[in-house]
Structure 1
Amino acid sequence: MLLTKFDPFKQFKDLERSFYNYPSNNESVNGFVPIVNTREGESAYHIDVDLPGVKKEDIKVDISKDILTISGERKTKDEIKEEDYYKVETSFGKFTRSFTLPENIDIENIEARSDNGVLEVIIPKKEEQNSKKSIEIK
C-alpha cells in the first residue's frame, strides 16, 4: 500500500505552475505580432513598427475616421521545407495593429516609409491656431 501526503493547496500550485507555460508576447498563438514603438515629437507623432522579413508590398496603412490601421503578412520562405529546420522560432502570418489618433493631426499629410525592416508612420500635427483675440470696444 502506498501512502501519499495530502496537500490541500496542490490544485492551486498546479494552476500557478500552468501560468509559466502560457505563451508570452513573442510567442503568439495567432501568428506574427509586430513590435511597435510610438512617440510624440514637437511637430508630429511617430509610429515605428518592426517588420523584419515583410516586403513593402505586403504592408497596408489605412485611416478610417480617427483609427489608423497597419496590416500585412509575413510570408514563409517557400524554398525551405519545414523538415529542414531543427527549431523554428520565427512566427509567420497576417497581422493587424490599430491606433486611435488624436484630434490635432493633419490627416492629409501622413507619410509612411519602410527601411531595413522598420515601417515608420509619421503623423503631422495641425498647426495650432491662435485662439487669443482682442475685441475692440466701440
Structure 2
Amino acid sequence: MLVTRHRNPIQNTRKFDLINEFFNALETQNSEEPREVFDFVPAVNTREGADAYYIELDLPGIKKEDVEISVDKNILTIKGKREVKKEEEKEDYYRIESAYGTFSRSFTLPEKVDSENIRATGENGVVEITIPKLKVEKDTTKKIEIE
C-alpha cells in the first residue's frame, strides 16, 4: 500500500494567523490610565525579525517633537498630536483646511525584549520603533555520565 501525504494549504495559512494573533495580542489598552477620547488613530504595521520586533506608525504631517514614546511596566505607549493647517489663496477664493487632534497607541511588550535599547526613527511621515530581542541561548542537550 502506497501512502501519500497531501499538503494542506489551509494549514500553511494558519501559521500566518498565529503570527497575526501574536501581534494583535501585543496591542492593548493600559487599564491603569483613565480612558481618554482621542481624535484619530494612526495606522500601525507590526512585524517580527530575527533579532527584533518592529512597529511602524503612519504619522504624515506630524512633527517628531509632537510625538512621545515611552515604556512603563513593559507597555510601550506612543502619544502625540497633529496640527496641520493648509492654506490656499487664489484670485477668486481663499481656502484654509486644518486638522487638529491627539492620538495614543499602547502595546504590551513580550517578556524577552531589551527595553533599555528600544529606538525610534522617523522619515517621510513614518515612525519606525525597533524593539530588540534579548539574546537567549538555545537549549542544548548535554549527556551526563554517571561516575
Smaller-chain TM-score range?
A: 0.5 to 0.7
The 10-residue stretch of structure 1 (71-80 or 99-108) with the greater mean CA deviation from structure 2: 71-80
Q: CA RMSD in A?
A: 2.5
Amino acid in structure 2 at the alignment position of 1:71: K
Answer yes or no: is 1:84 the counterpart of 2:92.
Answer: no
Tell me, in whole angstroms, the C-alpha distance in 1 between the residues paired with 2:118 and 2:42. Answer: 21
Gapped runs of 5+ residues in structure 1? 1-28
Gapped runs of 5+ residues in structure 2? 1-36, 89-93
Tell me, in whole angstroms, the C-alpha distance in 2 between the residues paired with 1:30 and 1:106. Answer: 29
TM-score, normalised to structure 1, is 0.66
Determine what percentage of the aligned residue pairs are the same residue: 51
Report how many aligned residue pairs link the two structures.
Answer: 105
* Structure 1 counterpart of 2:51, from 43, 61, 83: 43
Q: Map of 1:108-127 to 2, 5 A cutoff?
A: 108-127=116-135
Q: Per-residue deviation at 1:133?
A: 5.6
Answer yes or no: is 1:57 the counterpart of 2:68.
Answer: no
Q: Per-residue deviation at 1:30?
A: 4.2
Please say if residues 67 and 79 of structure 2, whose CA atoms lie closer than 8 Å, have aligned partners that are also in contact.
yes
Please say if residues 32 and 74 of structure 1, whose CA atoms lie closer than 8 Å, have aligned partners that are also in contact.
no
Tell me, in whole angstroms, the C-alpha distance in 1 between the residues paired with 2:38 and 2:73. Answer: 27
Answer yes or no: is 1:129 the counterpart of 2:137.
Answer: yes
Amino acid in structure 2 at the alignment position of 1:45: Y
* Structure 1 counterpart of 2:115, from 107, 118, 123: 107
Pick the structure with greater CA Rg: 1
Q: Name the SS of the counterpart of 1:76 in structure 2.
A: strand
